[in-house]
Amino acid sequence: MNYRTIRTVIYSTLLLLVFLLPASAQQKNSRKVTLNVRNGTMESIIQSIMKQTSVKIVYNQELVQKAARMDFTANNEELKPVIRRLLKGSNLTFVQQDDVMVIGPKDEPEEVKKKTGVIKGQVTDNSGKPLVLVTVSIPGSQSNTITNEAGEFTIDFSEGSSLAFSSVGFIKQTIKVHVNDKVNVQLEPSVSNMDEVVVTGYQTVNKRLSASSTFTLKGSELNQPGVTNVLSMLQGKVPGLSVVNNSGSVNAVPSMRIRGTSTLVGNANPLIVVDGVVRENPNDLNPDNLLGADPNTRDVYLLKDVIESRGTLTGNSISGLNAKDVESITFLKDASATAIYGTRAANGVIVITTKSGKAGKMVIDYGLSLGTALKPGYSMLQLMNSQQRIRFSREMYEDGYLYPSTPFHLGYEGALQDLLSKKITESQFQSDVAGLEKINTDWFGLLFQSPLNMGHHLSFSGGSDKTTYYTSVSYQDNRSAAKEDRLRNFSADASLKTEINRKLNLNFNLSASQRISNGYFSTLNPLDYALKTSRAIPSDLVYKVSAIGTYGSGPPLDYNFLNEIKQTGNSLKNTDLSATLTLNYLAFRGLTLSSTSSGTANTQYSEQYATELSNYIANARGYDYGTVAPGSAAEQASSLPFGGVLIAGNSSSYSYSIRNSATFARSLFSEKDQFSIVAGQEINSLRRESLNNYVPGYLRDRGESISINPNSLAMLDVRKKDALNNSLSMYGIFTYSYDDRYVLNANIRTDASNRFGQFVNQRFLPAWSIAGMWNISSEKWLEGNKTINYLGLKASYGFQGNVITEVGPELILTLPDNGQGVDPRSNEFSLGIRSLPYPGLRWEKTKNMNLSISGTLFNSFLNFEMSYYQKLTTDAIIRKYIPIEYGVQTMLINGGNIKNYGYDMDVNMNLIRSKDFKWSISVRGGKNFNVLQKGTVELTSQIIQDYFSGSVLTEDQPVGTFYVFSFKGLDPKTGVPLFYGVDEGDPASRKSTFIDYLKPVGTTMPKISGGLSTNIGYKAFSMGVSFAFNLGSKRLRNSVYQALGLSNPMPDLNLPVILAERWRKPGDEAFTNIPAYPKDNDPTGSGFIYLPNFSNMSRYDMYNHSDVNVVSGSFLRCTNLNFSYRLGDRVLKRIKLKGATITGAVSNLFVIADKNLRGEDPETMGAGTTALPITKALNLGLSITF
Amino acid sequence: MVVLQVSSCKKFLEEQSQTDIIPRSASALNELLMGAAYTGNNGSGTNPAIRFLDDDATHDHFFFKKGDIYYAYTWQPASTSQSRDAGAVQWSVLYPRILTCNVVLDYAPKVTGTTAEIENVTGQAYLLRAFYYFRLINFYAKPYSDKLSNPNLDLGVPLILSSGLSMEGQPRNTVAEVYKQIIDDLTKGIEQLQRNGKNNNIFRINHVAGSLLASRVYMQMGEWQKAIEAATFVLNNKSDLMDLNTWGTPDANTKAIVDSKNPETLWAFGSALEVVYQGGDDAFLYRLSEDLLNSFEDGDLRTSIYIKNSKSNKSPSYPYTSTIGQSFRVSEALLNRAEAYAQLNKLGQTANAQLALNDLNTLRKKRFTPAAYHDLASTGADDLLKKCYDEKRRELFGEEYHRWFDLRRHGMPSITHVFHENESQVLSYVLKDHDPGYIFQIPKAAMDKNSKLIGNPEPELRIGH
């Protein structure tokens, strides 16, 4: 401790003592001072003054000695003014108490008159781009302003002050200026994710100012070559988003849930917004339920297959979007983020931003991708080969099983029939059977392929300071492993941003796409066929099958799957065009006016056909092609004597929306806070028109002509639809932030629509939210902390209402089921009931709460965000079965209370960040608990299928819980399956039904879903692996036994290998739980059991739906593995390119799932659906920048 | 732009729909009746198999499978037929139409239109509702007048008389309550349509057809006098009979008996699909029974015009060329009145015997060649009654469910159906006297959803011998 320090301590102590002196000791008098010093030190002057007064002057010697030498005169002046004059210009001040005066360092600016004027200047970022809305303030005063569109500002200024520049996302800067200076300031962007913004579609908010729960995915993270739909690439990449890829088709659209399911009859998929504009699906089909909430009878019975197979090609609103044109995707998860979208956003919102140009020389990017999908095969599937299948048939015959009717004449059974009817000899029979055992038709090999897929993407971007542009064109031709499944897509995108003048700027975006999808005709599915068909059938064999389908039953008809595929078709062409224009106008300081107008047009033509040579048409015709004489009775009685059918549909939708908003932003109390309010108004209009035809008498080979026989008129179905949906909305957004530390945020929105027959009191339904955020790391006590770079807390709460649009207080009539407005007999107009009035129905209400914590630690080594959410939906509308006597199957009631709660998590670690070697890992996932709460109307219908399918609602169980029987074992005498409850006690005296013995096993939606990805980069090489997982779901294995008509399986069916281990003789039950086949088909036989209320059910159907067949649906899928190599600068220079990268990727490399699935995919829907398998895909990519 | 938007705001939010309508006028309700209350406009829905329940049908030859008709034809119990029993479908076909009637009746006071327009609409709704309840009660409950019946206690069907929906089911009303409602509806409907429904075309029910239905209802109730009055009302309004002597070459496809153009037709309704099968099903395995075929006398023109190849030739053979499935015909009024007279005769009012014969003869004159025609005479009250029964069977076979309903009314006698089990084996299935099979089981689907429904006694599994 040196001398000076000691002295400072003493003086300070003294100073304290002086302040503590009693107040009663007042100054008695003041002596005058007279002095004349030339070039003296301040200390000497003070000493001189001290000698002339009785006042003791104590001073800080250290400071006083620093003062410059000066001339000083005083002429009989009072002490205080003298001292004041002496200290003026220095940073010293004095205080006098009684006889002691202390001179010490100044802690307040001197109150002196200052020179005033204005300061003008411009603020730019480090690249020289003008910055708008930068707060320019004078520390210590109330005055502040913000910069205009050109980054310029003007502020009143007094000399001696400094200027502070602050803007979100930039480091605050304070500079010394002088009056009338012209200043140019460059602000440095702040580090640690400060450049991240949240695009809500209505606003672009800096992440630090958004209190909402959102997640943003960069376009580059989407890269998953071989996947055609942008949405399918999201699996495992977004916390809180569950994506289920139901099919491996290139045309498939996945089913998605953000934070669980909170509606029971509506569409639970999130809303999709592209560049600020809501994108409507190409048609009004709900992808989760293609037939609609209220299908008519004809659709359900006649056209179900047709509608579903059209649905497989329909795609969604962004099917034409190329992943390479995506800049970022933002997921809005809580009410604070979605309230601005009103009632439509109750299931979350996905906001896609497309790329825009950057100022600079034109950059040309070309991307090429070549790929293939690998054929699926029998290896994993545990299905019988020819030999096993023939052995099975032989054993069934030897065990004395009979067919209920003559089996199809093929396979072992065919040869046996020939033997028994003495058409062939025993030795011929043996050699026939030996031949059959060797056939081993590879159905997968015949129906699947390894296609060559390709994609081209070319983009141009660049611009000047004032105008930037981005243009791209792309072409993709993709097929899945299934031969007929194909998607060709051509798209073009252009965007332009320009600054017309200082106050006005303009954004224009135009995008167009054309898509051609091909798929399978309604009744055909190659996966289903390959799984179910015996391999002892040669592929070219035409065999007889029972008449099936929609036109009743009759004599068996010819069938060959390859012929069916050849004679039928399913295709769809879709054209999209959309344009958006945004204008921003800075009216005056703080007030910006914006207007966004957009229009979209979509047309879709879908066509399915089956020619007269197909089995599908033979079913309608009643006999095989060419087997009856022209003019015969059979021909005259046939409902479709000539030609096939054409199912063609045209639909178009045109929409426009105009949104105007005014944003006012300014500081309210000091330069540290900022307040902004946005008031907006929006109109949306959507017109859909469609014409769907089911035309019999289609002669495809005769110039595609159509000739409708009078017999076929009843099949003709022509339907036109025309609907106009208009809505008008008002919204408001309020944001207040203080010092970037505390942010308060509120949204409100109300909508009105022209919906037909709506409740008048529901025209204006407000949705609102309120949210707050605390940037803890901006607090003084954490500032500069080396461990915690960023730490923030968010909380939000909001309310949204929803009413399903199909119901209202009025009786609504529409055309009758067959779509004919005129009754054909009476020639009178006719109407049917579309919807009965529901006067008492209330809104579905969802209260949504979110808490999040996010942080950046160790200089961005670890970034994390964790959220807890709770969504409470009350009065959810459910469709309840009501007694048939009321004349309708179901009614809608407010009966569901659903609670969704859970966690989302996003952790990413930059493990290594050296110049040459980079390694990062990210884990994203979410857990959702979904439970039906008290007050839910139990849909304990007596319909057992509702329990199997998970459509019953039970309190304390999640939505979608399905039930199964509890398998007890096999009957030791007959080998039929027995069940707990069902096979106990005396069935005759029992009052209960099957339903009492069902037990809940889980849901098909995963509880936990997420993904893990890691990227390693070493110099020019990089490698990435991503995994997706879904955990906690359950599913049933494909059924082994037929539900009805429990017969000895027909010879065309293939069977699981496991059936070889079936019960065959008493004692087998010790080794196997695979039941024996029932000995006969009689309903009274062992296959059926009865209970009161006429419940009857096949034991084998019960077995299919019992706990032995429940397997876990959990899986871990390696969705993508890729390597890439970036060409070095020297090579590039030689070939005159700016950049070049070669990429190799494998999709769906492997999947780890429950081994009890016996090779079935854990994700795709099972047999009997339109699903195609998800197969491994290889891809090679090249990307060149000119 | 903002001002422009606000001014056009009202128009922008105007409800409009090209395909949907909120009914605000009587004519909209009238169109609704045509589209959703009359049967047959949208497919059959009706189970065609129930035409094969009665003793007019027989299985003809073996075919490799048992089609849907088998289950109704052999009167299999609901519990084993997997919803292919006779009663499985009708319940859910008729109640939605009753709903439409109820909707019309509930909305009629709220819509615009003259009293005449509104009465025309409500009158039809009342009559149709009565018709559908009449069918339901005769499918699913004991006959009203059977010796073992007690209509005040026997379970009928739930009476739903308003369009309001509820989760709570309603129990079955008694047979008597249902009949009372039918009579009430008929009375209102006939009255209103007589005043204001005369300009309707033949595809809409009218007061005369309503009276014919009333005569059927009273016949079921054993109210002979009222049945006579109702039938007489029909005949007073329309007495045209087709004369088979001048009918020309029989061709069901161009000149069908069951047809709107038949001069006897009072009301044409229903779907051809209820009567005529589309190709490929098993209806072609069935034909008219020997019992019926043998009951025709020589010279009866109906054997050549109503029948072709031992099958009914009353409707077009292809469903696609036919527009309707069923009709109310004047002949039935004569036959109902004849039987009612005969019933009174049996009760001792013998003056009625000749009246009964007169009515039968009026009809028979138009059905026989002049050479073969002779006036009928009866040998006693029972003989007269039998003659009435037989004449009705010959005249109305294959139309609606006349024979089945009459068998129930005539004491639910035992009948036998043969079935060709395979090429060589023909089995007999017996519906015993007062067999539970005479009453359809309430469908399982209905009982599942309404716990207050009590099922009918379930017959045993019927096994052929």
For residue B120 the two structure tokens come to 């025309």
From A405, A814, A833, residue closest to B19, measured CB to CB: A814
**In this predicted structure, what is the pLDDT of residue A510?**
93
Contact assessment for residue A120 and residue A178, using Cβ atoms and an 8 Å cutoff: no
Q: What is the DSSP string of B62-126?
A: --SS--HHHHHHTT--TTTTTS-STTTTHHHHHHHHHHHHHHHHHHGGGSBS-HHHHHHHHHHHH
Alpha carbon distance B239, B227 (integer Å): 17
Give per-residue pLDDT as tens, A1010-1067. Answer: 999 999 999 889 999 999 999 988 988 877 776 555 567 778 888 888 888 888 888 8
- Count CB atoms within 10 A of the CB of residue A250: 29
Alpha carbon distance A251, A478 (integer Å): 9
pLDDT at A646 over 90: yes
Alpha carbon distance A842, A834 (integer Å): 20
Is A637's CB within 8 Å of B158's CB?
no
pLDDT at A811 over 90: no
Q: Does A753 touch chain B (CB under 8 A)?
A: yes
Is A812's CB within 8 Å of B21's CB?
yes
**In this predicted structure, what is the pLDDT of residue A24?**
36
Strand partners, A276: none
Ramachandran class of A99: left when φ > 0, alpha when ψ lies in -120 to 50, beta otherwise: alpha
Alpha carbon distance A621, A610 (integer Å): 12
**In this predicted structure, what is the pLDDT of residue A989?**
58
Alpha carbon distance A597, A684 (integer Å): 10
Give per-residue pLDDT as tens, A971-1013. Answer: 888 888 888 887 776 655 555 667 778 889 988 888 899 999 9
pTM greater than the 0.90 cutoff? no
Is A825's CB within 8 Å of B20's CB?
no
For residue A406 the two structure tokens come to 């003559």
Is B43's CB within 8 Å of A1083's CB?
no
Give per-residue pLDDT as tens, A328-358. Answer: 999 988 888 778 887 778 788 999 999 888 8
Strand partners, A518: A486, A571
From B67, B279, B443, residue closest to A639, measured CB to CB: B279
Measured in residues, chain B has a length of 465
Average pLDDT over residues A1152-1177: 78
Provide φ and ψ at A101, rounded to 5°.
-115, 135
pLDDT at A750 over 60: yes
Which of A7-16, A116-125, A399-408 shows the lowest mean pLDDT across its residues?
A7-16
Alpha carbon distance A161, A179 (integer Å): 9
**In this predicted structure, what is the pLDDT of residue B318?**
60
Q: Among residues A771, A774, A770, which one has the least CA distance to residue A792?
A: A774
pLDDT at A25 over 50: no
Give per-residue pLDDT as tens, A286-311. Answer: 555 565 555 565 666 566 777 777 77
DSSP state of A1108: G
Is B35's CB within 8 Å of A810's CB?
no
H or E segment and range at residue B231: helix B224-237
Q: Which of B22, B76, B452 to mutate to test the interface with A (most CBs of A within 10 A)?
A: B22
**In this predicted structure, what is the pLDDT of residue A107?**
60
Q: Does B414 touch chain A (CB under 8 A)?
A: no
Q: Among residues A193, A406, A294, which one has the least CA distance to residue A812?
A: A294
Residues in chain A closer than 8 A to B43 (CB atoms): 297-298, 817-818
Residue A18 confidence class, pLDDT cut points 50, 70, 90: very low
User: What ipTM did this prediction achieve?
Assistant: 0.91
Residue A168 confidence class, pLDDT cut points 50, 70, 90: low
Q: Which residue has the tokens 């005949």?
A: B235
**In this predicted structure, what is the pLDDT of residue A771?**
93
Higher pLDDT, A16 or A711: A711
Q: Which residue has the tokens 């089909």?
A: A285
Choose from A428-437, A926-935, A1097-1106 the range with maximum mean pLDDT.
A428-437
Query: Residue B317 contacts by C-beta under 8 Å, 6 or more apart in sequence?
Result: A637, B252, B253, B276
Which chain A residue lies closest to B41 (C-alpha atoms)? A823
**In this predicted structure, what is the pLDDT of residue A1143?**
92
Contact assessment for residue A885 and residue B160, using Cβ atoms and an 8 Å cutoff: yes
Alpha carbon distance A1078, A301 (integer Å): 31
Decide: helix, strand or coil at residue A704. coil
Which chain A residue lies closest to B106 (C-alpha atoms)? A811
* Residue A824 half-sphere exposure toward CB, CA atoms < 13 A: 18
Strands A100-105 and A56-59: parallel
Residue A15 confidence class, pLDDT cut points 50, 70, 90: very low
Is B107's CB within 8 Å of A712's CB?
no
Alpha carbon distance A540, A825 (integer Å): 47
Decide: helix, strand or coil at residue B45. coil
Which chain A residue lies closest to B318 (C-alpha atoms)? A637
For residue A868 the two structure tokens come to 């807890």
Positions of chain B with pLDDT lower than 70, given as ranges: 1-9, 16-19, 40-46, 63-67, 80-83, 273, 275-282, 317-323
Using a pLDDT cut of 70, give the percent of chain A over it: 87
pLDDT, mean over chain A: 82
Provide φ and ψ at A325, rounded to 5°.
-90, 0
Could you tell me the end-to-end alpha-carbon distance of chain A, in angstroms, rounded to an integer?
67
User: Which residues 220-239 on chain A approach chain B with CB closer than 8 angstroms?
Assistant: none
Give per-residue pLDDT as tens, A361-376. Answer: 888 999 999 999 888 8
Q: Does A1085 touch chain B (CB under 8 A)?
A: no
Using a pLDDT cut of 90, give the percent of chain A over it: 24
**In this predicted structure, what is the pLDDT of residue B279?**
41
Query: What residue type is A959 in one-letter code?
Result: V
Is B5's CB within 8 Å of A683's CB?
yes
**In this predicted structure, what is the pLDDT of residue A818?**
59
Which of A156-160, A252-256, A529-533 shows the lowest mean pLDDT across its residues?
A156-160
Give per-residue pLDDT as tens, A214-229. Answer: 888 888 888 777 788 8
Give per-residue pLDDT as tens, A568-613. Answer: 999 999 999 999 999 999 988 889 999 999 999 999 999 999 999 9
Residues in chain B closer than 8 A to A284 (CB atoms): none
**In this predicted structure, what is the pLDDT of residue A806?**
66
pLDDT at A963 over 70: yes
Which of A285-289, A568-572, A903-907, A1163-1167 shows the lowest mean pLDDT across its residues?
A285-289
